[in-house]
Amino acid sequence: MYKETRIIQASELGYNKHVRIKDLIDMIQDIEEAHIESLSVLSKESKAQGFGIVLNFRYVHIKSWPKNKDMLELTTYPYETKPFFGYRNTLIHDLMGNLLVETYCLGSFIHIENKTPHRISGDILKTLGNRKKHEMTYMGRKISLNRKMAFVKEAHTTVLPSHLDYYNHLNNAIYVEFAYNVLPMHYQFHTVVCEYKKDFQLFQKIMLKLYQTEEGFLVQFFDESGTLYTIIEFMS
């Protein structure tokens, strides 16, 4: 388990007076990365073998949106880690102990150079612990497209240098920001679900298709050939 405290700053606020969804996702990613770096055996092996943890799926439920100057306690820990992939809970509480945000995600161990799976050893698995997962809604690791969806509109964008992470991929939080920006202006949501299938590279062109569902809105990301890369869903 790993914990940090932080304060929401004015630069992280949107027009609706609470933290932007991109900044919230960045916050979650930052504490997860800090914990992974602190796991010395795993971190050392990752650097020696050239593998990283690539995000496949994330579910975020916002019980109460953090606001300006809110003091937060963030907690993160892995659970059900296997040789090729693992799950993680990240929770955000206020200093009174009230749960504001609960999340889970799935990540795979992948060789960065050739994008092939990496198998971590049993000795490394033992160092990660075996905590019980947080009690919350779990919807697996796939977003279903086999349901009623009404097409709303299409938008286009391009991956620019400021959108990249240190793997030279489109940053996971930027996908969420791109999807958020095609939603109806005043749509209010409390759950975000992300399924990452493939990663966009620098200067790739992206076609986004927005659909309305019974639960909210869903955005699909395609490349120029029509290959589906990512799905982001927003639910009320």
Is residue 137 in some structural domain? no
For residues 163 and 121, state if they share a domain: no
For residues 16 and 114, state if they share a domain: yes
For residues 78 and 154, state if they share a domain: no
Per-residue confidence (pLDDT) for residue 157, from 0 to 100: 98
Per-residue confidence (pLDDT) for residue 130, from 0 to 100: 83
Is residue 186 in some structural domain? yes
Is residue 136 in some structural domain? no
Q: What is the average per-residue pLDDT within 65-88?
A: 97
202 neighbors 168 (Cβ within 8 angstroms) = yes
For residues 52 and 118, state if they share a domain: yes
For residues 23 and 95, state if they share a domain: yes
Q: What is the average per-residue pLDDT within 52-64?
A: 97
For residues 11 and 114, state if they share a domain: yes
Is residue 7 in some structural domain? yes
For residues 72 and 180, state if they share a domain: no
For residues 104 and 181, state if they share a domain: no
Is residue 145 in some structural domain? no
Tens of pLDDT along 103-138? Answer: 999 999 999 889 999 999 999 999 998 899 999 999
Q: Return the number of other C-beta atoms located less than 10 Å from residue 200's C-beta.
A: 23
CATH number for the domain harbouring residue 53 = 3.10.129.10
Residue ranges making up the domain that contains 74:
2-127
Q: How many domains does the chain have?
A: 2
Is residue 93 in some structural domain? yes
Is residue 197 in some structural domain? yes
Tokens 């509109």 belong to 153
Is residue 55 in some structural domain? yes
Per-residue confidence (pLDDT) for residue 129, from 0 to 100: 85
Q: What's the whole-number average pLDDT of the chain?
A: 96
